[in-house]
Chains A and B, each alone.
Chain A
Amino acid sequence: MTVGIVVVSHSSKIAEGAVELAAQMAPDVELVAAGGTDDERIGTSLEKVLAAVEQSLIDAGGDGVVVLTDLGSAVMTAESAIEFASDPDAILLADAPLVEGLVAAAVAAQGGAGVEDVRKAAEAVGFGASAGTEAPGSPRESSEPDAAGDFELINPMGIHARPAAKIAGGLSGLDAEVTINDVDGTSMMALMTLAAGQGATLRVEARGKDAGKAVQYVGRLVGEGFGEI
């Protein structure tokens, strides 16, 4: 079971397309699209969004639901739906760009993150935030890491979307703060902005209970060439 995610858009095509895109990187996460009005016009419908949220609450089996939206009135309809829902406290609204936020949230959910962390992952993408350096839980420069490692990328493509999703997804399920070349290791977007190609070295530093596991996890993925070789 993972956190469920609902996508609310004025357009059913946008909602469905965004879900399709995110599902590629988060095959085990239940993503529900709620776009357009009941009669397939541009707009949002309480009935549609409420049905999606309730479906997602069931899919998530108590793990909670994160809702992402597009323009203004989609936010208002989503807020109304949460008020009407059977378990309003289990549903969080993320203030994030729809597509980028959804992908980041889906990857975090795939990695087993809790509902608060899934929302954080979406919001960390931010409107115009760069390189994920402003992300919550990013580098604490002061203290020495509990575990660290340097790993050279051997796969031809380096860190593109899929490897970034694997790293961020796995790390977000661990109890550790992890930086990779000084960016938040649980932020897929931040990892992609490293633009690390074949032959580049990843410096992994981890702090917290699962620090050792986190470094091992990244080392194993890199060593396997992310299953691409």
Chain B
Amino acid sequence: MGLGVDWAVDWLKLSAKAMAEHRTELIELDRAIGDSDHGENMDRGFQAVVQKLDETPPETAGAALKAAAMALMSKVGGAAGPLYGTAYLRAATSLGDSTDIDADALASALAAARDGVVARGKAETGDKTMIDAWTPAVEAARNAASDGGDVHAVLQAAAEAAEVGAVATDPLVARKGRASYLGERSAGHRDPGAASTALLLRAAAAAAAGSVGNTGTSAGNTGTDAV
């Protein structure tokens, strides 16, 4: 059983919840090495995502992610808007109209999202940015998929790797974004974008756990009971 629109909507709503819950934490991280608006911006952006999904329920996972991309790019305000917006948009394009997303498709969509962030922000691994959470997540997802893991295993692996990647930004010296102005003084703080990426991928895994539970083993179940 692959994933569909219910998972995508669940993911985005759980993301909104995570951004609200971790708002202060993200603000504190950003206060140390940035302009202290990341928590507030992400919270506002994801509230707009939820509003948009409620107003116009999407038909496919791709459509849900595309709607989220547009809302984030318009409402976040800071650099996270176009970066996450591009990530969701590329993931949406990668998934297309699929209503039965399997492990390989999921790993490919995560890779497309990461490539979008790289293209937009022009950061590399080790620059102390969200790429340092995205790249290990993409690699872990690919490995899990090629080892025959199901969709939940893929997202679980991605979330864990992103969390490790985010923690690993602590000692790095920033080379991109506002934090790069601080030079050596940026070391010793976690990158806020890497931290929010880990939270978003954790939400994706949690949503998949919910979807897998809901859809059970019945192939005929359309999953309308989810959310």
Contact = CB atoms under 8 A, between A and B. Distances in A.
B120 interface: yes
B57 interface: no
B70 interface: yes
Contacts of A73: 78-79, 81-82
A224 interface: no
A73 B82 CA distance: 7
Nearest to A43: B77
Nearest to A44: B77
Interface of B: 41, 70, 73-79, 81-83, 85-86, 120-121, 177
Contacts of B75: 37-38, 45
Contacts of B70: 46-47
B177 A77 contact: no
Nearest to B48: A38
Given A73-B82, A80-B85, A80-B86, A43 B76 contact: yes
Contact of A76 (B41, B74, B82): B82
A45 B83 contact: no
Contacts of A72: 79, 177
Interface of A: 37-38, 41-48, 72-73, 76-77, 79-80
B77 A46 contact: no
A42 B78 CA distance: 8
A87 B6 CA distance: 34
Given A44-B81, A46-B82, A46-B85, A76 B120 contact: yes
Nearest to A72: B79
B82 A79 contact: yes
Of the listed residues B41, B81, B85, B121, the one surrounded by the most CB atoms of chain A closer than 10 A to its CB is B81
B74 A46 contact: yes
B120 A80 contact: yes
A37 B177 contact: no
B74 A38 contact: yes
Top 7 closest pairs, chain A to chain B, by CB: A43-B77, A46-B73, A76-B82, A73-B79, A47-B74, A37-B77, A46-B74
A79 B119 CA distance: 11
A45 B77 contact: yes
Contacts of B82: 46, 73, 76-77, 79-80
17 contacts: A38-B74, A43-B41, A43-B78, A43-B81, A45-B73, A45-B77, A46-B74, A46-B81, A46-B85, A47-B70, A48-B74, A72-B79, A73-B78, A76-B121, A77-B82, A80-B73, A80-B85
A176 B41 CA distance: 50
Contacts of A44: 77, 81
A163 B121 CA distance: 41
Of the listed residues A41, A42, A44, A76, the one surrounded by the most CB atoms of chain B closer than 10 A to its CB is A76
A80 B76 CA distance: 14
A170 B13 CA distance: 56
A72 B79 CA distance: 8
Contacts of B85: 46, 80
Contacts of B78: 43, 73
B114 to A, nearest CB: 16
Contacts of A43: 41, 76-78, 81
Nearest to A80: B82
B143 to A, nearest CB: 30
A51 to B, nearest CB: 10
Nearest to B177: A72
Given A38-B74, A72-B79, 15 more contacts: A41-B77, A42-B77, A43-B78, A45-B73, A45-B74, A45-B75, A46-B74, A47-B70, A47-B73, A47-B74, A48-B74, A76-B83, A77-B82, A79-B82, A79-B120
A1 B171 CA distance: 55
Contacts of B121: 76
B187 to A, nearest CB: 21
Nearest to A41: B77
